Amino acid sequence: MRDEARNRSEDIKVLEFSPAVELLLDAEGRCAGAILYNLETKEYYIVKAKAVVMATGGFGRLHIQGFPTTNHYGATADGIVMAYRAGVKMKDLDSTQYHPTGVVYPEQNVGLLITEKVRGLGSQLINIDGEEFCFPLEPRDIESSCIIKECLEKGKGIMTPIGRVGVWLDSPMIEALHGEGTVRKELPAKYIQFKRYGIDISKEPMLVYPTLHYQNGGLQINANGETTVPGLYSAGEVTGGVHGRNRLMGNSLLDILVFGRRAGMNAAEYIKAGKGQKAKGKLTLEHVEKFEKELKAAGVKEPVVGPMILPEYTPDHVKERRWVETA
């Protein structure tokens, strides 16, 4: 899709390194564009649009409850922040999926996902006493809560040198069950990922703990990919509702392709029907002012900067950019 967009650069303009930081509404409350922030020049752009499709992905990089994450650096809930201020209804926002087997050691790999295939091939989860404590093929939520309880309630986890806790995922069992060389053949990427740090997972088990993986809730959409704000469509992980408050593995094609197509087609229909044309009156950020008043009324003095764009791993990162209207 990216190649296709680039091939059609006369019709489709791509603005790199310029994330959206606020949605714009028209006088009738319809979504009519967005403000973008150029990360290189630090300029703001106003982009007018007849319809907008929000597809900013999940929120793993918020590190909810201090968990590591499998997500890329862009997964900072920007879409939720912008849509919430614009008045979009949210759904199941308190629900998040933890992948049971995220890496705990070595430190360079913390949070990275160890595929379910490892347990599918016969690996078991083992505590510090060498005991199996959970059937290895439970759904993600059950598997994750078993591991957390084993470590935090029963104290049967294994500590890493810098004080993280985890349980063993006994990958050598795969070799015992299926023969020598199976780990390397079936799990080449994981094998290399650990070998780089001197760990041979065909001979030594991996240390794992749940990692923040998927945002279950998000922008409420209907079957057409419409949000509750006219002119704003949405698809992908930023939305809530396709799979409810929980999720089995592997349904993102539904989120992305089925609802992406629907959102795109319906946004185009909306424009063709003339609903998004000639925004009535000026474009406005009144919804942001309203949101700030609500914050003040609630006694929130130093709000976290949002949208965050990139996670705050360096303390000075966000100081340069506060709210849009102070720029």
Residues engaged in binding ligand FAD (CB under 6 A) = 19-20, 55-57, 70-71, 74-75, 78, 113, 214, 236-238, 250-252, 256, 307, 309
Active-site positions read: 99, 119
Spatial separation of the C-alpha atoms in residues 106 and 128, rounded to whole Å: 18
Spatial separation of the C-alpha atoms in residues 90 and 82, rounded to whole Å: 12
Token duo for residue 155: 């104290």
* Closer of 42 and 203 to ligand FAD (Cβ): 42
Q: Shortest gap between Cβ of 144 and ligand FAD (angstroms)?
A: 15
| Percent of residues in the chain assigned helix, strand, coil, to nearest 5 | 30, 20, 50
* Closer of 268 and 310 to ligand FAD (Cβ): 310
Helix (H) or strand (E) holding 165: strand 165-169
**Residue pair 123/170 in contact by the 8 Å Cβ criterion:** yes
Q: Shortest gap between Cβ of 70 and ligand FAD (angstroms)?
A: 4
Q: Shortest gap between Cβ of 140 and ligand FAD (angstroms)?
A: 11
> DSSP 3-state assignment of 252?
helix
Q: Shortest gap between Cβ of 287 and ligand FAD (angstroms)?
A: 17
Backbone angles phi, psi at 312, to 5 degrees: -90, 70
* Closer of 20 and 219 to ligand FAD (Cβ): 20
* Closer of 23 and 146 to ligand FAD (Cβ): 23
- What CA–CA distances, in Å, run from 52 to 48, 68, 223, 227, 324? 9, 31, 17, 10, 20
